[in-house]
A = this chain, B = another copy of it.
């Protein structure tokens, strides 16, 4: 191997290990750590993050990248899909971005985010937006300074978006979301008129957590969870983490009075975990060894949670499992009624509790407000009013107070501006992948009716997962679906489900 490439790989592996250790400390913090340890854990996380950043932005990485320019071309000429050429390309992009931002600004953003988070916790508790406002203003100002470190963008918001969805442009998202909003607002209004046709009362009741765990374990095992490479733990705010393809950790929450949370929450996190678990082992400890973007990652969680998990075939299997473990509740429920219950659509206040149809409108609202915040065209003091007006316009919902409105999400408090759109883009990509997978896998429905995720899992592994970050997000999606991100498949999917369910025209 080329000596510069060998050295680059060695340095990147070390940086990976530092980040991975930080990831494990973060996982532990949310699942295992005794609460008194929080201040020392914050120090340790700070040190690991700082060292990884220092080592990655080092001049030496830049010199290696420069000396590898010819090698990259040679590698790609020999093999257009060369792992090593992709490694050099991705590392160069990451390195050049990281070098543009002064360390002090990074540190200041981290600090402001920590303070903002604390202020947000207090503000949400008291539903007091004014308390949060100066911290939000500080976060926005720092993001504007961050944007100013870059050049050559069409829209300042592009810079922020690129951190979560590399290569994506604000204008593209805006166009997709305008189309999507145009489809969803009337669809959801029509559903709301027939709200009484579907209810989900059977999902509420008395569900012992130990028995929920039993159901979740059964379901995940059929989908592809492996005891020797995965864990499932509890966390207040469920998430998936991974430390290489051989160490995937899901978390979930067991609500004693609602079985939907642990069931669909863990299938969602399974989608994230499966992606990481099927990345080619040879990409481990390199920047290629992770999901290609947040939207593509979210396409995986939503594909498994919603399209598979709430689809008619798989709900038959789920219903059977629930009837075995909770016979007193599900023994006498028809599979079709279970299918209807888990597909209930209803406009609501809180994003994280929204169904798959209304969800995107929560996102579009945030995306529009974020752009205005960064552009400086919205006075931040007017944010609650703007929020509430859009909730009414898009979802027909009246917001009673800011705790249930503009203060509901953690993202802006910590300074994460530009993140939200990836959730809804994930819905779109998921539907596109699903159309392709169904075309390729004629027996898919029959397998899912048995709860068996093997076919889809392997299809996703071969076509998507194994590549990690080797291709751009755009290339990644287009290689599989033959098209850029589009609205139509998702709308087709939703209409196909909701029209019969709600007896729409």
* Residue-wise interface mask of A (4-29) relative to B, using a CB-CB cutoff of 8 A (1 in contact, 0 not): 00000000011001101110110010
B37 and A247 contact, CB distance less than 8 A? yes
Q: Which of A254-300 contact B (CB under 8 A)?
A: 284-285
Pairwise interchain contact A32-B231, C-beta atoms closer than 8 A = yes
Contacts of A285 in B (CB 8 A): 40, 43
Known: A28-B24, A28-B28, A47-B17. A40 touches B227 (CB 8 A): no
B51 & A247 in contact (Cβ 8 Å cutoff)? no
Query: Is A496 among interface residues, defined by CB-CB distance under 8 A?
Result: no
A178 within 8 A of partner (CB): no
Tally A residues with Cβ within 8 Å of B.
Answer: 38
Residues of B within 8 A of A21 (CB): 21-22, 24-25, 44, 47-48
Contact string against B for A residues 45-57, beta-carbon threshold 8 Å, 1 for contact and 0 otherwise: 0111001000000
- A20 / chain B contacts, CB cutoff of 8 Å: 40, 44
Which residues of B lie under 8 Å from residue A248 when comparing CB positions?
34
A74 to chain B, nearest CB (A): 29
Of the residues B48, B231, B284, contact of A17 by C-beta under 8 Å: B48
Known: A14-B47, A47-B17. A243 touches B32 (CB 8 A): no
Q: How far is the CA of A35 from the CA of B48 in the complex (A)?
A: 25
Q: Does A36 contact B (CB under 8 A)?
A: yes
CB-based contact A13/B228 at 8 Å: no
The verdict on A375 contacting chain B, using a C-beta distance below 8 Å, is no
- Flag if A34 contacts B229 (CB, 8 Å): yes
Is A228 within 8 A of B40, CB to CB?
A: no
User: Is A309 part of the binding interface, using a Cβ–Cβ cutoff of 8 Å?
Assistant: no
Contact: B34 with A231, CB < 8 Å? yes
Please measure, in the bound complex, the distance between the C-alpha atom of A18 and the C-alpha atom of B28, giving whole angstroms: 16
Q: Which residue of B lies closest to A244 (CB)?
A: B40
Closest 6 pairs (CB-CB, A-B):
A37-B247, A17-B47, A36-B246, A36-B229, A40-B244, A17-B44
8 of the cross-chain contacts (CB-CB < 8 Å) are: A21-B48, A33-B247, A34-B226, A34-B229, A36-B246, A36-B247, A37-B246, A37-B247
